[in-house]
A and B are shown apart, each in its own frame.
Chain A
Amino acid sequence: MTPARLNHIIAWSLLVFLVAPALIAIPVSLTTENYLSLPWDGISLQYYREVFNSPEWMSSFLQSTVIGLTSAALATVVGTLAAVGLWRLSSRWGEVVRGLLLLPLVIPPIIAAMAFYRLFVPLGLIDSYLGLILAHAVLAAPLVLITVGASLAGFDRRLEQASRNLGASSAQTLWRVILPSIRPGVISGAVFAFIASWDEIVVTLFLSKFTVYTLPRRMWNGIRENTDPAVAAAAVILLGVTFAAFLIWGIAQRRAAKPQSKST
Chain B
Amino acid sequence: MTRTQRLNPAWFLVAPLLALVAVMFAGPLVNILWLSFTDPEPGIANYAALIEKASLQKLLWTTLRVCLITTVLSVVLGYSIAYAMANVAESSRQRMMLFILISFWISVLVRTFSWIMLLGRNGLLNNGLIELGLISEPIAFVRNELGVLIGMVHYMIPYAVLPILAAMQGIDGRVLQASRNLGASPAQTFWRVYLPLTKPGVIAGALLVFILSLGFYVTPAILGGGKVLMVAEYISVQVLITLKWGTAAMLAVLMLGSVLGLLYVLSRFMKLSAALGGGRT
One digit per residue, 1 when the CB lies within 8 angstroms of any chain A CB and 0 when it does not, for chain B 107-150 equals 11111111111101111100100000000000000000000000
A157 to chain B, nearest CB (A): 13
CA distance A116 to B252 in the complex (A): 13
**What's the tally of chain A residues with a CB closer than 8 Å to chain B?**
93
Q: Can you spell out 20 A-B residue pairs with CB atoms less than 8 angstroms apart?
A: A10-B84, A11-B85, A14-B80, A18-B154, A22-B114, A24-B117, A84-B10, A86-B10, A88-B8, A110-B217, A111-B256, A114-B239, A115-B31, A118-B32, A145-B17, A146-B276, A192-B281, A199-B108, A206-B240, A223-B113
**Cβ-defined partner of B21 (8 Å) among A25, A104, A205:** A104
With CB as the reference atom, state the residue of chain A lying closest to B262. Answer: A106
| B248 interface residue per 8 A CB criterion | yes
| B157 interface residue per 8 A CB criterion | yes
Q: Which stretch in B42-50, B54-62, B95-103, B175-183 binds the other chain?
A: B95-103
Report B's interface with A, CB cutoff 8 A: 8-18, 20-21, 23-25, 27-29, 31-32, 77, 80-81, 83-85, 87-88, 96, 99-100, 102-103, 105-118, 120-124, 127, 154, 157-158, 186-187, 211, 214-218, 222, 232, 235-236, 239-240, 248-249, 252, 255-256, 259-260, 263, 272-273, 276-277, 280-281
Which chain A residues lie closer than 8 Å to B106 at the CB level? 19, 22-23, 239, 242
CA distance A23 to B107 in the complex (A): 11
Contact B116 A223 (CB under 8 A): yes
With contacts A36-B122, A81-B14, A85-B10 known, what are 10 further pairs, Cβ within 8 A? A11-B80, A16-B99, A23-B106, A84-B13, A85-B11, A110-B235, A114-B239, A118-B32, A195-B280, A199-B107
Which chain A residues lie closer than 8 Å to B117 at the CB level? 24-25, 28, 36, 227, 232
Which chain A residues lie closer than 8 Å to B8 at the CB level? 88-89, 91
Interface residues of A in 1-60 (CB under 8 A from B): 3-4, 7-8, 10-12, 14-19, 21-25, 28, 35-38
User: How many Cβ-Cβ contacts under 8 Å join chain A to chain B?
Assistant: 257
**Cβ-defined partner of A24 (8 Å) among B121, B124, B187:** B124
CA distance A137 to B25 in the complex (A): 12
Q: Tell me the dominant secondary structure on chain A's binding face.
A: helix
**Cβ-defined partner of B110 (8 Å) among A22, A81, A112, A117:** A22
